[in-house]
Amino acid sequence: MPCSGKRAMEPCDTIKAGNLLGECILWDDETQALWWTDIEGRRLCCFDWRSRSLASFATPERLCSFGFVAGSTRLIAAFESGFALYDPRSGAVDWLERLSIEGLRLNDGRVDRQGRFWAGGMAEREDAVGRAQLFCVDAEGRVHRRLGGLTISNGICWSPAGTTFYFTDSPGRVIWRYAFDPADGTLSGRANFAEALAGALPDGATVDAEGYLWSAQWGAGRIVRYAADGRPDLVLEVPASRPTCVTFAGPARDFLCVTTARHGLSEAALAGETGAGNVFVYNVGVQGLPEARYVFARGSQAGTAS
């Protein structure tokens, strides 16, 4: 366990990862390990909670988000150019669908409580603004378009019951709430859940066992915990201006872990942010939910390998 003792409003430990753009941090109960991707560094990181050892795996292209796969050591992956099943240790990639996304790449993603994988796109050029989409990958490996007209997809997570879906298009600074049909993943009834303050872009998010949403606020150096009615309940300051994603980790899932970025910061800004790119651990004393695993009905066969 990285840290213990009384709960604190500042980090109780730091994993010195040195990421360019740390993202999509997930806790694996089965292996007691913390995983995240360094998108711009083109590597997947794995931190063993018990031994405190940090391993990394080079990725064939930018790995933007991923999820664990039921009964397998492979991952369901949203690479920059499409969806695949990915074995980080062997490097094998079995493509499910490559996307024609000039000026765009995939971004934030997560597995829903029924075992489907969701990920959205992100514009990397001005001419791609408003052209990104939100996708869902079903058990057969088929990719479905769920939302369009997006710029930077982020904050994908669900309420504990799995009937409310949270999502943000970061530049708009609004976290949206949708009614979610667990049977087929249909989204309906979009409503404004919460709005970040000026200068803060809502990024990756997760929901704890009590139904509170924890949102990383890019550019503002903080994590905001929102009650189920959208009311800000708690603010954690992060010693880096660009926190990107959050998850609950540890044997009891009661430590909040935060990825951060240094990509795009000037030399002057980096000189004042010695922790940018690291993973910060908070002893919040709040329990998270188990990370859902992608259920792949087609077994070990998928697409074409590269």
**Within the chain, how many helices (H) and strands (E) appear?**
1, 25
Q: In what order do the strands lie in the sheet with 43-48?
A: 22-28, 33-38, 43-48, 54-58
Asked whether residue 64 carries a pLDDT value surpassing 80, the answer given is yes
pLDDT at residue 238, rounded to an integer? 95
Active site residue 203: yes
β-sheet bridge partners, residue 120: 134
Q: Which residue has the tokens 């049909």?
A: 181
The residue whose two tokens read 């829903």 is 112
Instruction: Please give the Cα distance from 218 to 229 (Å, whole number).
Output: 22
Question: Residue 271 — very low, low, confident or very high, per pLDDT cuts 50/70/90?
Answer: confident
- Over residues 125-137, mean pLDDT: 97
Burial classification of residue 288, based on how many CB atoms lie within 10 Å of its CB (0-12 exposed, 13-18 middle, 19 or more buried): buried
Alpha-carbon distance of 83 to 143, in angstroms, equals 8
H or E element: which one contains 179?
strand 174-180
CA distances from 269 to 15, 218, 273 (A): 21, 15, 6
When pLDDT is cut at 50, 70 and 90, the band that residue 306 belongs to is very low
**Dihedral-angle region of residue 228 (phi above 0 means left; psi in -120 to 50 means alpha; beta otherwise):** alpha
Q: pLDDT tens digits, residue range 198-210?
A: 999 999 999 999 9
Q: Please name every residue paired with 136 in a beta bridge, in sequence order, or none if there are none.
A: 118, 144
Confidence (pLDDT) at 136: 98
Residue 300 banded pLDDT, cuts 50, 70, 90: very low
Q: Which of 38, 203, 208, 254 is catalytic?
A: 203
pLDDT band at 272; cut points 50, 70, 90: confident
Task: Report whether pLDDT(305) > 50.
Answer: no
pTM of the model: 0.94
Three-state DSSP at 229 gives coil
Q: In which band, very low, low, confident or very high, does the pLDDT at 3 lie, cut at 50, 70 and 90?
A: low
* One-letter amino acid for residue 130 of the chain: G
- Cβ atoms of residues 296 and 85 within 8 Å: yes
Domains parsed from the chain with CATH numbers: 13-305 (2.120.10.30)
User: What confidence category does residue 69 fall into, taking pLDDT thresholds of 50, 70 and 90?
Assistant: very high
pLDDT score at 267: 87
